[in-house]
Structure 1
């Protein structure tokens, strides 16, 4: 139980750092498959399995919440003052565990190699297109203090998009929030315990989690090797991009 809470804390902290993926850490920690299964199959699972899923999700969820609440201010400070050192620290932590992702898989299989290349190219094109379309990350000097219905809808949409990014290894949900202009706002809501905007954000995240996890869980169950090599390509490309942006 304690190990799962610690893993959840790591995932939570990763998700609040732009450029770092919580999904990547879930893969590195060896819980990604089961996490996708627990979320995707929870509603249709038999009672005994539901209890098992609940225990696991509560442990990971509690750890993630603790990680976000405890380290949000610390990460905000480190990222603002020592961005290069913070990114390097995460890369160093992730690198040794990368071989474990495809342990026991056939690294010479042509289909697996193609899947790896596709994952690598996908994340490169995704990041390029996202920055190109948005004109780059949109940061603001002041945090929003006036709220409206349309803004709450935008927050829910941001939650939906961000959780999808957080679930897919190698794609940073925080980076997308930065591009959408809401990263500073959301970090401020967390640090200042502003409940109402966080509720709308959570609604979007809940809906996104149910949808994205079902797709990924299907791929892992029916095309495991191809999916793992695709994920590996995404992770390697993401780490390269992270280092290039130091």
Structure 2
């Protein structure tokens, strides 16, 4: 397997951004993957894993096992990407927890800018925009708007619950516009898992990851089909979803209004953070370039 170190490094950087996004309620790592041009490769690579390499391994045919393993699993993508995601999630867990506790409005204003810019980037790369696609986008908007308005449920934190939470959350994490962290918030598991990361509770982290792996292996095949057969409709639907999820950061900004700092009105500071998030996504898109596989 030939290694392209520059390509691996850029994939690792994408992983850092994806991991940072996945830990934030309201921001999707799938969105970051999409605007940095790696999304379709990621979904397709996960979707083609069928574990056919296990049979020759059980038979002791190690040469066939190695051949099928390399054919079926895109190590050049998975190793640097998931390394970046893991490092980012562990590194930023405390920072995000601190920012949300002490500067919630500014933090969510930044998130709002990220989501708004992501929707704009996807819209700019649509090949066409017909009445049919507008309807699909509106449906996505309405569903997401209703979804993010739901109240978090009370839940226990047993290992089976964490396992199924991982299965559900990962399906959202891989979808652009739908935040897996927000799904965890609705399930009553977000702060608990954030604390598990901060305290390095390996038992709960491993159980959650196992659920996530099973969930992503199944869901990615469905998503890969829609991207391969109905790409424009899928992307348009996801744009609507992104715009609908803006309800979450907006509500959190409004609910945390207070006096501004250094004589600057609070609203102006929030707008500056929105612009900062928007500009960051535009820079990312220009840096990595949106490339269709």
Query: Is the shorter-chain TM-score for this pair beyond 0.5, marking a shared fold?
Result: yes
**How far apart are residue 67 of structure 1 and its match?**
0.3
**For residues 70 and 16 of structure 1, what CA distance do their matches in structure 2 show?**
10
Alignment partner of 2:231 out of 208, 224, 229: 224
Deviates more, 1:176-185 or 1:68-77: 176-185
Q: 1:43 to 1:113 in 2, by over 3 A?
A: same
**For residues 203 and 13 of structure 2, what CA distance do their matches in structure 1 show?**
28
Deviations 1:105-145 (A, max 9, x none): 102x22211211111112122233x32xxxx4659xxxx9x
Does the 8 Å CA contact 2:23/2:93 hold for their aligned counterparts? yes
**For residues 178 and 238 of structure 1, what CA distance do their matches in structure 2 show?**
14
Q: 1:97 to 1:157 in 2, by over 3 A?
A: closer
Q: Any stretches of 5+ residues in structure 2 without a counterpart?
A: 1-7, 53-67, 254-293
Provide the aligned length of Structure 1 versus Structure 2: 230
Deviations 1:206-242 (A, max 9, x none): 1111111111110000001100100111112213442
**Secondary structure at the residue paired with 2:178?**
coil
Normalised to the residue count of structure 2, the TM-score between the two structures is: 0.72
Q: Identify the residue that residue 58 of structure 1 maps to in structure 2.
A: 79
Q: Identify the residue that residue 91 of structure 1 maps to in structure 2.
A: 112
**How far apart are residue 96 of structure 1 and its match?**
3.9
**For residues 97 and 153 of structure 1, what CA distance do their matches in structure 2 show?**
34
Does the 8 Å CA contact 1:118/1:233 hold for their aligned counterparts? yes
**How far apart are residue 177 of structure 1 and its match?**
1.7
**Secondary structure at the residue paired with 1:245?**
helix
**For residues 87 and 29 of structure 1, what CA distance do their matches in structure 2 show?**
22
Q: Identify the residue that residue 35 of structure 1 maps to in structure 2.
A: 42
Residue 155 (1) aligns with residue 158 (2): no
**Secondary structure at the residue paired with 1:19?**
coil
Normalised to the residue count of structure 1, the TM-score between the two structures is: 0.84
Residue 199 (1) aligns with residue 206 (2): yes
**For residues 145 and 110 of structure 2, what CA distance do their matches in structure 1 show?**
22
Runs of 4+ in 1 over 3 A off after TM superposition: 44-51, 93-100, 136-139
Q: 1:10 to 1:184 in 2, by over 3 A?
A: same
